[in-house]
A and B are shown apart, each in its own frame.
Chain A
Amino acid sequence: MLGGYFGKIINIDLTEEKVEIEELDEKLLKKYLGGSGLATKILYDETDGDTEPLGPENPLIYMTGPFTGTKVPVSGRHQIVAKSPLTDIFGEGDAGGRWGQGLKKAGYDGVVVRGRASKPIYIWIKEKEIKILDGKEIWGLDTYETDRRIKEKHGEACITSCIGPAGENQVLLASIMHDGSDARAVGRCGLGAVMGSKNLKAIVVEGTVATPVVDREALTISLKQEVPKIVEKTKGLKLLGTSGGTVMSEELGDLPIRNFKQGNWDKVEGISGQRMAETILKKNYYCGSCPIGCGREVEITEGAYRGVKGAGPEYETIGMIGSNCLVEDLEAIAYAGEMCNRLGMDTISVGAVIAFAMELYEHELLPKDSLGDIALTWGNEKAVIALIEKIAHKEGIGELLALGTKKAAERIGGIASEFAIHVKGLEAPAHDPRAFNSLAVGYATGNRGACHLQGASYFFEKTATMPELGYTEPQDRFATEGKGILNYHSQNIMGLMDSLKLCKFGIYGGINLTMMLEWIHHVIGWEMTVEELLETGERIFNLKRMYNVKCGISRKDDILPMRLLSQPRRDTGTGSNLAPFGKMLNEYYEARGWDDLGIPTEATLQRLQLKNE
Chain B
Amino acid sequence: MKIVLRLHHSLKGKVPIEDGILQIKENMTVEQLLKQLDLKRTTVVVTINKKILPKETTIEENDSIEIYPILIGG
Contacts and interface: CB of A to CB of B under 8 A. Distances in A.
A443 to B, nearest CB: 16
Interface in A209-256: 232-237, 239-245, 247-249, 251-252, 254
A237 B42 contact: no
A428 interface: no
Interface in B20-58: 42-45, 47, 52-55
A335 interface: no
B52 A463 contact: no
A505 interface: yes
A505 B52 contact: no
A278 to B, nearest CB: 6
Nearest to A318: B74
Contacts of B47: 239
B14 interface: no
Nearest to B52: A277
Given A232-B9, A458-B72, A248 B45 contact: no
Q: Is the interface of A mostly helix, strand, loop or mixed?
A: helix
Nearest to B54: A278
B16 interface: no
B70 A240 contact: yes
A463 B69 contact: yes
| Chain B residues touching A, range | 10 to 19
B9 A463 contact: no
Given A248-B43, A274-B45, A236 B52 contact: no
Contacts of B52: 239-240, 274, 277-278
B53 A508 contact: no
B28 to A, nearest CB: 19
Contact of A294 (B9, B53, B72, B74): B74
Contacts of A237: 71, 73
Q: Which of A239, A240, A458, A505 has the most CB of B within 10 A?
A: A239
Contacts of A233: 10
Nearest to A316: B74
Given A251-B42, A278-B53, A278-B54, A239 B68 contact: yes
Contacts of B55: 274
A182 interface: no
Contact of B73 (A242, A251, A252): A242
B69 A505 contact: no
A520 B51 CA distance: 38
A315 interface: yes
Given A239-B45, A240-B52, A463 B71 contact: yes
A243 B10 CA distance: 21
A459 interface: yes
A236 B74 contact: no
A337 to B, nearest CB: 13
A505 B73 CA distance: 8
A249 B72 contact: yes
A462 B74 CA distance: 13
A243 B54 CA distance: 16
B68 A236 contact: yes
Q: Which of B47, B71, B72 has the most CB of A within 10 A?
A: B72
A101 to B, nearest CB: 21
A236 B42 contact: no
A236 B70 contact: yes
Nearest to A248: B42
A254 B47 CA distance: 26
Contacts of A239: 45, 47, 52, 68
A316 B74 CA distance: 6
20 contacts: A234-B71, A235-B8, A237-B73, A239-B47, A239-B68, A242-B74, A243-B74, A248-B42, A248-B43, A248-B70, A249-B72, A254-B72, A278-B52, A294-B74, A316-B74, A462-B71, A462-B72, A463-B69, A463-B71, A508-B71
Interface of B: 8-10, 42-45, 47, 52-55, 68-74
Q: Which 5 A-B pairs have the closest CB atoms?
A: A242-B74, A245-B72, A277-B52, A236-B68, A315-B74
